[in-house]
Structure 1
Amino acid sequence: MARKRAAIVAAAEQAFVRDGYAGSGMESIAREAGVSIMTLYRHARTKDDLFAAVIESACHPVDMEESAKIEDAMKKPLADILLFIGVMFQERIRGPKTTNLLRVVMTEMRRFPHLGELAYNGLINAHVERLDSFLSARAETSGMLAEQRRRIGRDFFDRLVSLDDYRVLLGLPPALAQDIRRRAELAAREVVAELERDLPAPHLREP
């Protein structure tokens, strides 16, 4: 099932980028994936579900190497974890897969305005929700109001979005690795500082 889903998502991504949202059909995607249309519908009931799955795959890829990196990063102090998340988020949000999908959305927005919200939920809100879930289980946020914690998470990602995103969308050279890391360091430092102000915790360490 996992292999079939991976084949479906890969075929759908190719179809959306090549033919656009309107030009991609469920039956043709099933053929390209090498599965029956019924198998496709078991994984995605609608084309919107399929598009959302493609975005999820672009922003949250899962493989053994990636899982190992994440598992190792989660053992470190909070500031280092946030630095890791910040770098990873920027690399993914400006990666070729995500960039191509954003271009599809912008091209199709006039006819399919709901794609904007669909893409935003997958590209941004999913990251915000995952970070909030992670922070909610941390001792550093114990006793903090949920809305305050969510705001801190949203502010963290807000600091990671920059003019570089427009450069990538316009086909210009992307940000340098040191710029990506510097931006992530600043964002992580702001979160740690805010947590220290609200809930002093001597074990927090800045990157």
Structure 2
Amino acid sequence: MRDWSPDHPRAKVMARKRAAIVAAAEQAFVRDGYAGSGMESIAREAGVSIMTLYRHARTKDDLFAAVIESACHPVDMEESARIEDALKKPLADTLVFVGVMFQERIRGAKTTNLLRVVMTEIRRFPHLGGLAYDGLINAHVERLDSFLSTRDETSGMPVERRRKIGHAFFESLVGLDDYRVLLGLPAPSPHDICRRAEAAAQKVITELGKDLPVPDLLES
């Protein structure tokens, strides 16, 4: 889905329209499913013309991907400030913050509803699985890898190893309780979410420690 640069003369107006389009698309997908949602009806619900909708999203897949992104990576001034603050903390603390945030997002009502849409329509539209996985998992892996690449703890580490560690971090954050959420059963408690994030963060710290150079005692 198209993004508008901040210096665009109509950036604020276009951002509001984009938000309205994404909100209308989310409601349509959850209510009517992927197959039952049409571009024209989404434009009508968003209060924009069909031409305006196509300026923001060329296809329904673009819209679905944007809805997934909005559910998993919401743009909020307060949350952005929290993230910026967390990134300045020691690595272990930052990873715990990311781990808690990821679990809250992936088990949130919006994400759960969208996953149910995918599960319902996957036979007719198998590509929805890839769109959902990219937005839910790969986007988080990419952002964490980008962050880790700036840290001293990963200096000189091969890119593939760094990415593997990041991917394993997110794998440690999901489990059978995610199926419980999809089935409408109680989600993990905040305490359990925090403990899982702490355990996943410790695994990353341990793995990174394996790549630290061992001091040569003979040189001292």
TM-score of the superposed pair, with normalisation by structure 1: 0.96
Which letter does structure 2 place at the counterpart of 1:157? F
2:159 equivalent to 1:146: yes
2:97 equivalent to 1:84: yes
Give aligned pairs, total: 201
The residue that corresponds to 1:110 in the other structure is 123
**Cα deviations by residue, 1:153-175 (Å, 9 ceiling, x for unpaired):** 00000000111100000000100
* Correspondence for 2:43 among 12, 18, 30: 30
Cα distance between partner residues in 2 of 1:42 and 1:142 = 42
* Correspondence for 2:64 among 36, 51, 66: 51
Which letter does structure 2 place at the counterpart of 1:26? M
The residue that corresponds to 2:55 in the other structure is 42
* Correspondence for 1:190 among 194, 203, 212: 203
Which letter does structure 2 place at the counterpart of 1:50? L
Cα distance between partner residues in 2 of 1:167 and 1:61 = 24
Stretches of structure 1 lacking an aligned partner (at least 5 in a row): 202-207
Cα distance between partner residues in 1 of 2:78 and 2:27 = 24
The residue that corresponds to 1:180 in the other structure is 193
**Aligned-pair CA distance for 1:6:** 0.4
Q: CA RMSD in A?
A: 1.0
**Percent of aligned pairs with the same amino acid:** 83
**Aligned-pair CA distance for 1:68:** 1.1
Secondary structure at the residue paired with 2:89? coil
* Moved segments of 4+, more than 4 Å: none
Secondary structure at the residue paired with 1:62? coil
**Aligned-pair CA distance for 1:196:** 1.2
Secondary structure at the residue paired with 1:198? coil
Cα distance between partner residues in 1 of 2:55 and 2:97 = 35
Cα distance between partner residues in 1 of 2:21 and 2:213 = 48
For CA contacts below 8 A with separation 6 or more, give which structure has more relative contact order: 1
The residue that corresponds to 2:109 in the other structure is 96
Secondary structure at the residue paired with 2:210? helix
Which letter does structure 1 place at the counterpart of 2:45? E
2:182 equivalent to 1:158: no
The residue that corresponds to 2:145 in the other structure is 132
Whose radius of gyration is greater, 1 or 2? 2
Cα distance between partner residues in 1 of 2:15 and 2:178 = 32
TM-score of the superposed pair, with normalisation by structure 2: 0.90
Cα distance between partner residues in 2 of 1:199 and 1:62 = 36
Stretches of structure 2 lacking an aligned partner (at least 5 in a row): 1-13, 215-220
**Aligned-pair CA distance for 1:200:** 5.6
